[in-house]
A and B are shown apart, each in its own frame.
Chain A
């Protein structure tokens, strides 16, 4: 690890490279690009939660003046259900059925066909002219209904324990023997919880512009969390080779995991190919809410046993997570992360993937982990109460440390969980007095973090400045952090470093922006590229001075003789060496492509204060402090921003966000009016404490920071409400009608009825 002390740029709140464009309205997001000759695509979507598609007649739509192309499932490459084809965490069998309904429409909003026409209005009109014959089938929305013995089955080919089932899979994490563990326990708390599906809530709807040439050469402008994912999935689903597709990442208006898969790009590509015209598609907010994301709703049961002194001896969790209409819920996060902050000898966590007639879930910030942590951290709060222990002390007593073997496999290296607990405990917030009807809760959380494939190219310009290209869409300021790192290594002003996101034709393969991996991985490839450049610069100075390259050091943006013994030479600056490049060996640049390793998990501990209006059931968060081990804060402003943003999403999940379904199996709140994300006046300032325990396996000590801050929030809020009211809540959201009913008791309901 070459963590430099006395850093000039690492740890500085520099101006982000894309900042000026974003505050002046110039930044090009997905819907901001147009092309000459461009036409508009629209999707016809299923009105039914579950229906067999008997026939689709597009002739009237095709005959409408202005319509240039119509596509349906027969135009999308089919991946038969009996053979899995994985792309990252997505199975193309399900992706091909998600972008366009194949045998059956599986949720309201499921694409049935798509049209391209000269105007959006004509495309919309053409969608109305497509005649679809449906055989409407019985449908199921909720988990309990989906796993009931007589449930309508979504997929005949899906079997669980030998029988047709809506359970798409089972995942288990095990350590020790829980039966033995619970036998040793003196206090056991077991509770069941439910959560509702929540949407990632990015403000930018999905959008793309696609141009396909007569030679199949395809250019895609779209907003996603991975242009290489867009390229690969579009190639799979259209049959166009990846080498013919150039996916250009637009600025992305929020993703939070929800833009790690494609919806529109393959359809726009097929329409563009068929029509010979560039096709633009932009979802409405309603389409976003009906047909993209969200994360799973869940039901779970968690049981934790401890000795009277607070030593946790066994923990068991059962998690049912909704997948939507096609397999793939984030069970791994729930079963893998939930108990990981703790050193527990006996652990059993089991997750079930439950299908129903909802839109297919997509990743959402620490996928699955917040659902598991909500249950576990609420049970720990009850356990602390039963043991008459401070809830942070209970966590400290059982905290995972260096050497702890996590139930999901690894042995932790030096980690910073204990430090987050200590920082929370000594924070003035934790001991601040509370007023009437106010309460305080704490909770912790863990996320794996990730490494994986990343590429960078660092080039020195002829005038001695720097252009860095990486392959990861920047969702929250990663370009700013990369500029800091590169400037630090080169010893130059950060403003001399431009950082760009390359497209699939101009930079090497780079995996998704997700899992809190981007800065971890891209810092490694940028560091190695920059190190190569510094080696080149030193070699060239050595040549000019006619000394050994070993006798040259790079400092403050210039080559210097490493010691007086090496000779007396004036330093050669980056600009001087760049100017001499043509005669000294040519252009200066270096690229590195790696499958990065050494990502270490992240831990956070949160303190939440709420105030409850007991007559209306309204809960307001009035103070919040989030402590997190961030490894190393390369750009503290954007690290804090990640933490604050995660907390805000968690407060929404805890209090008001939920998908509400009507009696016809359709989402009843498909917009920002009734899908109630926190607005500015709902929140207090969100305090952050960045604990820095550097990752020993990373050149700058970086750990992922984006996912962890969502994980503890729902439990912290629930525990705070309990502290305020003396009542426990076992379901999310804790919205006013729910809270009032718990306060007033069920007798009120009867009395009122």
Chain B
């Protein structure tokens, strides 16, 4: 009944061409853990599915020339977890990506899909934002880069142009004394969508925080980069006062809704609690680097 075409191009150019010509009927298939659920529920009825997993660049994990990483948008969390160096540099981001769904889902789900799904509650997104990850996009008009925090446009929407495909994430090199962490609040221990998610990425020098970025999820229509929270941490030794100020900044940044997963009051309060906990984990890790 469904007039659906499945394409699995071997090159990015072919993929972009197919995706662009499909227009609004096109859907990108990476791990499929969101897309197949949406198709099954009838929420999405694609005419063309472009499977990007045969494109080498989109499934590669590579070091960059300056000592950072480039992660293909379709790399599943479980594959990333097996990389010998990535988890050492970005433990928080790795945790965030591997908090998406079950072990089974981690075998398929990618950070690229998580970002492009456009959910404000996607677990990898606050950690990517905190990491300062840059998204590489390719479309009919060529290649461009975008900060991850600029990708989401609202629930279920992104700022990608028609025909554009998310190709990879570039993560900056790690200065000495850097690390990150991600925590989310869910009612159970697993299998829930984040009620609040916080990613913190920071650098310590002699116990003083010299750089920090804070990403905050599930408390607004898009994942937020909370600069005020980062500011409260930078220059401090992550003492109680600094953590409290950063926590307040997170709570203040919240613009949540009441829904089946949490209330406005709850989310606002929990954002601050999680900021403190996440920052301390990141700091403990950074102290060892």
Name the distance in Å between B243's Cβ and chain A's nearest Cβ.
Answer: 13
Our pick among A122, A740, A752 for the contact of B1 (Cβ within 8 Å) is A122
Asked whether, in the complex, the Cβ of B269 is within 8 Å of the Cβ of A656, the reply is no
Does A660 count as interface, using CB distance less than 8 angstroms?
yes
Asked whether, in the complex, the Cβ of A752 is within 8 Å of the Cβ of B187, the reply is no
Which of the candidate stretches A27-35, A230-238, A374-382, A615-623 sits at the interface with the other chain? A615-623
Asked whether, in the complex, the Cβ of B266 is within 8 Å of the Cβ of A617, the reply is yes
* Known contacts A122-B1, A125-B1: A737-B263 contact under CB 8 Å: yes
Instruction: Enumerate chain A residues within 8 angstroms of B269, measured Cβ to Cβ.
Output: 740, 744, 748, 752
Instruction: Enumerate chain B residues within 8 angstroms of A615, measured Cβ to Cβ.
Output: 270, 273
When C-beta atoms are compared, the residue in chain B nearest to A656 turns out to be B187
Does B115 count as interface, using CB distance less than 8 angstroms?
no
Our pick among B192, B259, B265, B273 for the contact of A676 (Cβ within 8 Å) is B192
Instruction: Enumerate chain A residues within 8 angstroms of B264, measured Cβ to Cβ.
Output: 752-753
A550 CA to B268 CA, complexed, in Å? 82
Which of the candidate stretches A37-45, A151-159, A667-675, A709-717 sits at the interface with the other chain? A667-675
Instruction: Enumerate chain A residues within 8 angstroms of B185, measured Cβ to Cβ.
Output: 616, 618, 736
When C-beta atoms are compared, the residue in chain B nearest to A662 turns out to be B260
Does B141 count as interface, using CB distance less than 8 angstroms?
no
Within 8 A of A (CB), among B16-47: 41
Name the distance in Å between A285's Cβ and chain B's nearest Cβ.
Answer: 10
Asked whether, in the complex, the Cβ of B189 is within 8 Å of the Cβ of A679, the reply is yes
Our pick among B189, B191, B195 for the contact of A673 (Cβ within 8 Å) is B191
- The total of chain B residues at the interface (CB under 8 A) is 24
Asked whether, in the complex, the Cβ of B270 is within 8 Å of the Cβ of A656, the reply is no
Count of A-B contacts with CB under 8 A?
A: 70
Does B104 count as interface, using CB distance less than 8 angstroms?
no
Does B83 count as interface, using CB distance less than 8 angstroms?
no
* Known contacts A615-B273, A617-B266, A737-B266: A679-B190 contact under CB 8 Å: yes
A615 CA to B265 CA, complexed, in Å? 13
Instruction: Enumerate chain B residues within 8 angstroms of A749, measured Cβ to Cβ.
Output: 265
Name the distance in Å between B45's Cβ and chain A's nearest Cβ.
Answer: 12
A735 CA to B188 CA, complexed, in Å? 10
Does B261 count as interface, using CB distance less than 8 angstroms?
yes
When C-beta atoms are compared, the residue in chain A nearest to B258 turns out to be A737
Name the distance in Å between A514's Cβ and chain B's nearest Cβ.
Answer: 29
Does A164 count as interface, using CB distance less than 8 angstroms?
no
Does B63 count as interface, using CB distance less than 8 angstroms?
no
Within 8 A of B (CB), among A176-229: none
Does B193 count as interface, using CB distance less than 8 angstroms?
yes
* Known contacts A122-B1, A668-B260: A741-B265 contact under CB 8 Å: yes
Instruction: Enumerate chain A residues within 8 angstroms of B261, measured Cβ to Cβ.
Output: 674
When C-beta atoms are compared, the residue in chain B nearest to A736 turns out to be B187
Within 8 A of A (CB), among B242-289: 259-266, 268-270, 273
Asked whether, in the complex, the Cβ of B260 is within 8 Å of the Cβ of A752, the reply is no
Does A681 count as interface, using CB distance less than 8 angstroms?
yes
Instruction: Enumerate chain A residues within 8 angstroms of B189, measured Cβ to Cβ.
Output: 620, 679, 681-682
Within 8 A of B (CB), among A611-641: 615-618, 620
When C-beta atoms are compared, the residue in chain A nearest to B262 turns out to be A737
* Known contacts A676-B188, A681-B190: A660-B260 contact under CB 8 Å: yes
Does A286 count as interface, using CB distance less than 8 angstroms?
yes
Name the distance in Å between B163's Cβ and chain A's nearest Cβ.
Answer: 29
Name the distance in Å between A43's Cβ and chain B's nearest Cβ.
Answer: 15
Contact with A along B107-124 (1 / 0, CB 8 A): 000000000000000000
Does A136 count as interface, using CB distance less than 8 angstroms?
no
When C-beta atoms are compared, the residue in chain B nearest to A735 turns out to be B187
A669 CA to B265 CA, complexed, in Å? 21
Residues of B in contact with A (beta carbons under 8 Å apart): 1-2, 41, 185, 187-193, 195, 259-266, 268-270, 273
Closest 3 CB pairs of A and B: A121-B1, A737-B266, A681-B189
Given contacts A121-B1, A616-B270, A737-B263, 14 further A-B contacts (CB under 8 A): A119-B1, A618-B185, A656-B188, A672-B191, A673-B193, A674-B193, A676-B191, A679-B188, A736-B195, A740-B269, A748-B269, A749-B265, A753-B264, A753-B265
24 examples of A-B residue contacts, CB within 8 angstroms: A119-B1, A122-B1, A125-B1, A616-B273, A618-B185, A620-B189, A655-B187, A656-B188, A672-B191, A674-B260, A678-B188, A679-B188, A681-B190, A682-B189, A736-B195, A740-B269, A741-B266, A744-B269, A748-B265, A749-B265, A752-B264, A752-B265, A752-B268, A753-B265
